[in-house]
Structure 1
């Protein structure tokens, strides 16, 4: 059955891949991103394809009024809002002592407040629908285990995960499900920002870099089964939860993980393109 979906961050990376995949599967999709020209071009290119309906929408997730307008337009257009995917994200790589104060605002405004606005305002629409709805928020394993070197990013993703887990409990009686998806490092433009930055060595400490297709598959599984939380890969999720359960463990394993990350980061730097 065709669903009505709004996907943030749909101009690139995970958001674009997911939005296009759902469009091609026959769903009605709002491609939402503050990069208005890019989502217009994406939707124009998709227009000739058979499948669902695609609508570009210029959305700055930091703006609650912009969120209200996007949701109102979606419901006016299609009569409902079944799924919101909060995927838009921000990362500024810098050591904490060197980070500009503006980066504090940007991390929390985009990564945390953007998700909170989207969840809250979508939920207010969904509770009025007989069938409810589903909200999927993309956090990170950095939202489970602290990542020194990406401290501001960690703070924002901890906020996303904590908010999502609490919101899920409040909204469940209203037939609105909330799932938080926490992936390890993914091959996206955000990863490119980290390749040559020593502060980001821990990003590369996993066995491999995830593809956007793998994250999209996890999101689709979450859409089907509506779990509270998804981590991927699963073994890294358990390691993150273990270090979160006993924070001193981080200080013991971080040097080893950093060294492994530095080696793999150096290999990644040598890749063409």
Structure 2
């Protein structure tokens, strides 16, 4: 217990230093800071998408009726959010244009709840969350504040500042470009939305996420969702893909898989 307390104290002291000072911190201090951090190795897939086959359907989603919508999946779509008039207008517009539309990527927040595996690379100064489509989020945990408003601009993954509360990673993200412009399955939050996530290990092979979104432009009240990932032992390395293999089609309002192009 005394060793753990010393490690936590060293980690706190390192994070409290200015960024430039951290870069020249004594090696022993950095080793102690690493020792105080959680370690989430391996590849993590959304719990409700675990075991997804080449059909694109997850076993959990098809267990009861054979339908891909027999149980709730992808909770970060915000289907249960309390949209205001502008939010409902955006939601209807996105749903009408989604059929057969190709994806540019998952983007944020959907990459946090997709069937695409994630990795968490944790250091004292930042945590990087990356998926197999080479999409990455950078969460700075070196004690810096959120940049001033004049130094913020909307991006696909937003700007994220994090902190550790014990073994829980707390992330605040702002300035996310309207998510549904990037991926048609995303909720149509505005660029002024504020996302707060809490991620922690719940057992040896399960990570949990609580996400609260505040966006007066599209929501009547803050919306909170819960998701989880399980460790997928089927991966031993990360193979980066792009979206040129998206063969999503649409027929009579249903998603289909288009035939492979003739060579």
- Which of structures 1 and 2 has the larger relative contact order (alpha carbons within 8 angstroms, sep 6+)? 2
Q: Which has the higher strand share?
A: 2
Fold shared by both chains (TM-score > 0.5): no
Normalising by structure 2, what TM-score? 0.26
Larger Rg: 2
Normalising by structure 1, what TM-score? 0.25
Q: Which has the higher helix share?
A: 1
